[in-house]
Structure 1
């Protein structure tokens, strides 16, 4: 995700020094399910008003602070929690196929109970998959810097009162390299939540290939698979985006010589939950390059 920061020269607004920082906290394997996000808020860094005052500043007309969270279960069904804080100048940003003016908003908003300042983050304004509810402040440097861990915990503002469900689920596994019993290739585990809130698509990398194994003095069939969450835009991925490339793949895993062969790998990006189940649908062999050369020679012969 790319951000284009620009100074907002709005009439009647005084330039000021806005704190600029961004921090994401990931917690895994907690012994019990946590329902209140404020129980995990770190009293440090970009989250904390005092610490945040020590970060670099940028001069502009409006400052902002933004806070949100997600929760989900990883591929081993363990709970994880993600909390994100960022501060800076109200700015324009460039998303895939869309320019966003004045993020998070050009209108000042400073939550004072019972008034709330919450917004929905989506592909049109933040670039994330699905939707996330966030707490924000837009206004003076003093107002935005005042919003920190202690104030959020005390007032439980909308946007940080409950956890957002992680919006994207993908098959996530890594087979490394093995033979026919390769579960990640043949039958990947159930979909699980993406820890990365910037993940906008799912991906799979697979290869079905043969190579000569000197330890057995014969050809063997190898299966390679890796599946997970990707930041490739869902708009670019479309319904499904498949391509192939040649890579060095090992003949026998973990051997001292690290012998490799060049074989084809199939790469797929797709833009819906659990869509990354693609497999290599043919066997890549050591004849690939010879076939290509033979075809070229034949074509030259026919043209003469």
Structure 2
């Protein structure tokens, strides 16, 4: 049963819940609570003794918390996974779920600055308690820094030209809001403008929120928090995240000295992948929710 939410439609809902192989009395983590869709699905599988610890750094997500004694909400980034599990006296858990997509609600709120469709401030912070905004990145980063982030996080084809153009223009053309930024970029837009702006905005959002840093930190904590045979299910939405997750599941627990021919350290495999290929949305879901088209679900089990 797919829960409906005006905040966010959960992607790969049934696939993610099934992949966790939920034990009724177990303890589970939802790293990205959002609209509470996946959380609701997990809670429906838990007994009164089961527990769900849900993380979300976005204050707006707190309006979706359901009254349920089995739910513990943590208003922080999932990069602090282990710290808050210990704080709530849960050393180990039976499963972890992370949906790395930006919610529909966030895209539809003009003042958040995530969407290219509305005018609003160049903000893009998931957590308003942090200081770095998209405007600060655009005004303060050097040309090489901008080139790198647009190339790596947005896969923008003319990222070098784009970075140079921003640096040249930002002193004379103030970046007050999204409209002024898009106007500044007009001379260097390549191909489909909507796709181009989407790639640029994606790169800025990832940088502002240090999304790759947070993902790597969370992944690194999984071997220490998951019980044997516990599963982790991660839904990604672009190739960079997917590559990080795929490589982590493949390499986690291998020796740091594996490239040293003189090392006698043994490789220790921590995870086995549950599905050989990532799970992707079916035709029905794609029709219902076009935003799900780039979603990939990877699942691994701790050995």
Query: What's the TM-score bracket when you normalise by the shorter of the two chains?
Result: under 0.3
More strand per residue? 1
How does the TM-score come out when normalised to structure 1?
0.22
Q: Which has the larger radius of gyration?
A: 1
Q: Which has the higher contact order (CA 8 A, sep 6+)?
A: 2
